[in-house]
Amino acid sequence: MHPAPEPRAGLHPLLAARFSPSRFDPSGTVDDPTLNLLLEAARWAPSAGNSQPWGFFTARPGEPEHARVVPHLAPSAARWAVDAGLLVVALTRRHVDGSGLRYSEFADYDLGQAVAHMTVQAQAMGLSAHQFRAFDLEGITKELDPAPGWAVVSMVALGRAADAPPAGRERRALAELLAAPWAPAE
């Protein structure tokens, strides 16, 4: 791992400035037009065969949906996620026929792209996103009860960041991205 305190010059400012906040400003509410634009960004993501295997459950503070999601957050995420203007539960459709027979190889990959688009759209609107897995997967799946074939994968907290990017964020060197798949196991 090589410290990379600054993204290199030329990286798009939306990507260079993005980080996952550890604190959200509770007064940073997400209104309906903003929510719809975040979903719109996900909607226009590419996907294998244009299968669009993503689905979302959204919850804003004060909405009944929020009260359904929050109890399933792990303490490590609850600390900051409850203050976010929007919580999104991200689901993917791994089994296209619902019976578990037809497995969709790219479902999780495609969902990740849709969420990435959502995070960049958030950044463009002055919001920040923190994706996380720190929640009770079994509990939230039971609570939301998705249709057969669908699986909860991750969550995203979106809102107005209340902190700055932490010092010492690290990234692997560019050369390592090209070499790592062939390097001997550590």
Ligand X SMILES: Cc1cc2nc3c(=O)[nH]c(=O)nc-3n(C[C@H](O)[C@H](O)[C@H](O)COP(=O)(O)O)c2cc1C
Positions in the binding site for ligand X (CB under 6 A): 19-20, 77, 131-134, 154, 169
Nearer to ligand X, 24 or 132 (CB): 132
What counts of helices (H) and strands (E) characterise the chain?
A: 7, 6
Nearer to ligand X, 167 or 175 (CB): 167
b/e 107-128 (16+ beta carbons within 10 angstroms → b): bbebbbbbbbbbbbbbbeeebb
**Distance of closest approach, residue 32 Cβ to ligand X, in angstroms:** 26
- Angle at CA 110, nearest 5°, toward 21 and 160? 20
Nearer to ligand X, 14 or 36 (CB): 14
**Distance of closest approach, residue 161 Cβ to ligand X, in angstroms:** 10
Nearer to ligand X, 19 or 56 (CB): 19
Q: Please give the torsion angle defined by the CA atoms of residues 117, 132, 80 and 86, in that order, rounded to the nearest 10 degrees.
A: 40
**Distance of closest approach, residue 97 Cβ to ligand X, in angstroms:** 26
**Distance of closest approach, residue 90 Cβ to ligand X, in angstroms:** 9
